[in-house]
Amino acid sequence: MRPYAWMPWPLRWFARVLTVLLALALVLAGVLVYTVRKSFPQLEGSLRLPGLTGSVEIYRDKSGIPHIYADTSADLFMAQGFVHAQDRFYEMDFRRRLTSGRLSELYGKATLDQDKALRTMGWRKVAEQELPELAQQTQDYLGAYAKGVNAWLSANPNASDRSLEYSVLKLQNGGHEPEKWGPVDSVAWLKAMAWDLRSNMEDEIDRALALTKLPRERVEQLYPGYPFDRHAPIVGEGAIEQDRFDQRAQPRPRAGQAFAQAARTLDAVPSTMSSADREGIGSNSWVISGEHTASGKPLLANDPHLAPQMPSVWYQAGLHCRKITEDCSYDVTGFTFSGVPGVIIGQTDKISWGFTNLGPDVADLFLEQVEGDTYLYKGERVKLETRQEQIKVAGGAPVTITVRSTRHGPLINEVMDDAKPSGEANAVALQWTALTPGRTVDAIFALNRAGDWEEFKAAAALFDVPAQNLIYADTSGKIGYQAPGRVPVRPKGDGTWPVPGWTGEYDWKTAPIPYDQLPSVQDPAEGFIVTANNAVIDPRRYRPLLTKDWAYGYRSERIRDLIKEAIKKGPIDAAAMGKIQQDTYNGFAETLIPALMEVDLAGPAGKARESLKTWDRAQGLGSAPAAYFNAVWRHVLTLTFNDDLPAAARPTGGDRWYEVVRRLLAAPDDLFWDDVTTGNLKETRDDILRQAMASAYQELADRLGEDVKGWRWGDLHRLELVNGTLGTSGIGPIEALFNRGPLSVAGGKDAVNATGWNVQKGYEITAVPSMRMIVDLSDLDKSRWINLTGASGHAFHDHYWDQAEVWARGELLPMYSKAGSVKKAAVHVLKLNP
């Protein structure tokens, strides 16, 4: 009997069509599954890797985290290049194109402005200048790493062998053949790292933009001085003595302390980072000496706060010489960058270190007077330096730009919309320390070899950009802090405003602050060190200007308080460190809530306000008061400042605005409270607070329902893990392939668990603890860590985002580093042979 013969004709026709469609769907699904899985890396068995001098073993645990074992350093870094390429080559290739200003070759006109800006700053050219100045050993290791990447490329010649992204790109624009990897590709990525962690350039621009609508004294209200009387700096002792920073020295009274006086004056004024989405970028780190720990050895914690990425910017790995010799001197475990050899943050077999952004002012905007191909400098016309840059554009003709530079740096006003000149100036030049060749790559390898405090300090001396707060602990029990980096010396000015370049009086001195004069401390009397982007040292104690634009110390002071509380309860262990990392306390609630309670407020908003009376200030997922308070805070900021400021300079939240509003609360008739859009009506503080509470209630009632008790902070505060390239394509099915989430996450901006959000856009998360690490120096196998997403960059791989939910719950994974533990935890073993 023929199929479907028993059915009426219309049903037979429908059944046949349905069968064909199902068959096609199965074929397409099979093709998709095949295409997706074809690029997954080989994790077991053995492979030949031309260029190795000996065998290398790669052990991966159940999270896919690799530990690499070799007999020579060159083999070790070659294998690291191979493993990075296995898991993350598309990400590496994208970063390479980003730093070179070549994104438009893949993505067309959509990325042309980015390429113009990057070509203008010339990251790639600086990296090319930097490479030959690095130590020969560093150059050798970069070359070995590149060999490993290229060996993987040679073994995977087809687009479908490399990743799903390449298969999609092949459908869109005919595909792309990646070039061989080179050492400069690794060096250039560190320029991107430096750019992300640059200091106050956006603050300079925002000040200048605000000045277009407000007088200077009112703009200054928006940048209050650091509250040294309430929030401790990182280094509370020492001064420069005989051209060196001496931890035991006391500052000597001297004339001309104009900076300290100005800071105190500004701090006394009753008043009210960066671009909107960068202000949440920061980090926490702290280290506690053995006198306060259960084991008698130090504990170290670190969680850098960065914009969320899919996959995470970090890649966990262990790099181990089977036997420590002169030819192989590495035994290090930690967080790496795919595309860069070595470990950026982590532990050796003897020491551990962590980073937070020190945030010194290492970039200045110089206003220039350009005429034709010259610019004015000290009364004379000087010829501009010029170069041509051709940008290839997928689907279009190449675009050529002319990059022009003064002695202060490239002219950026033609490619950066916010950097517009005014007044006598008609151009803006950027001077930035990262545009001068440095030795940061040397520092990475030196840190990875360090075995004690002196070797650590010697490694830190090589760390040029970005300048970071480095905390330290070792197995002997020592703890310490070092501020490294190339920090310019300004004979005039403080780096907070754009300055005229034509006078020459604001030019940086040739030499930066000497490394020996940068703040440092070891084994402080308190027994712990905390860094959270707060001020490094009080300017009344320390004369060279580091910056005026610190974070304002709300996170650092909360961490200090929690450590002190923990010490009172008894010895601290790793679990206590983890609880501190997960603290969600809102540091501004104690200031704002009393002011809210004094305002006359009736109706549903008044009932919502009642929830704040018993709120513990924690911003947990299920907290209704946290949801309401953050909504009120959002509306306080937008109602108070949006009418006064241009869009690019409006508040995004964060602890600078805590300080601004704290001072404004004491000045109920300040002009900032008045809404200039309401004509003859003059609003005061209470008017704005009342409206903010009412608007916050209405917003949440519309979104979450009218039952205040049913509101949950986690229903507003959510994280989308978005792939940085095809995840923003605007094509729904493609975005669905690469993006994940959303996840509800506790915490908030400038809580210790710093899940930042932008008050101008909503409550969605824009900055996160990109990883977390707790190192136990009594037994390094007891250390713990977590990554934001997972080891793999391959969509649909088991390890693409398997750590994300663990991260969101605040949990950590074992961070094994000893050979026995690594091998016991391994679920895959791959052997690479010459």
Residues forming the active site: 283
Helix residue ranges, H only, 65-181: 73-100, 104-107, 112-121, 123-130, 136-155, 159-162, 164-173
In whole angstroms, give the CA distance from residue 361 to residue 535. 12
Tokens of 410: 């490239």
204 annotated as ligand-binding: yes
361 annotated as ligand-binding: yes
CB atoms within 10 A of CB 422: 13
Burial (CB count within 10 angstroms: exposed 0-12, middle 13-18, buried 19+), residue 686? middle
Q: Which of 833, 832, 756, 824 is nearest to 61 (CA)?
A: 824
Question: Residue with structure tokens 């970028």?
Answer: 281
In whole angstroms, give the CA distance from residue 601 to residue 690. 7
User: Dihedral through CA 367, CA 373, CA 376, CA 379, nearest 10?
Assistant: 180
In whole angstroms, give the CA distance from residue 409 to residue 125. 13
Tokens of 518: 């940068």
Query: Is the peptide bond prior to 311 cis by the omega test (within 30 degrees of 0)?
Result: yes
In whole angstroms, give the CA distance from residue 66 to residue 315. 9
For residue 277, the one-letter residue type is: D
User: Nearest 5°: CA angle at 81, between 75 and 87?
Assistant: 135
Q: How far is CA 772 from the centre of its chain?
A: 13
Q: Which residues pair with 404 in a beta bridge?
A: 386
Q: Which of 138, 121, 120, 141 is nearest to 130 (CA)?
A: 138
Query: Is the peptide bond prior to 742 cis by the omega test (within 30 degrees of 0)?
Result: yes
Tokens of 15: 């059944």
Q: Are 774 and 299 in contact (CB under 8 A)?
A: yes
Tokens of 459: 């490694």
Q: Which residues pair with 371 in a beta bridge?
A: 374
Residues in the chain: 834
Bind-site residues for Ca(2+): 204, 361, 364
Binding residue numbers: 204, 361, 364
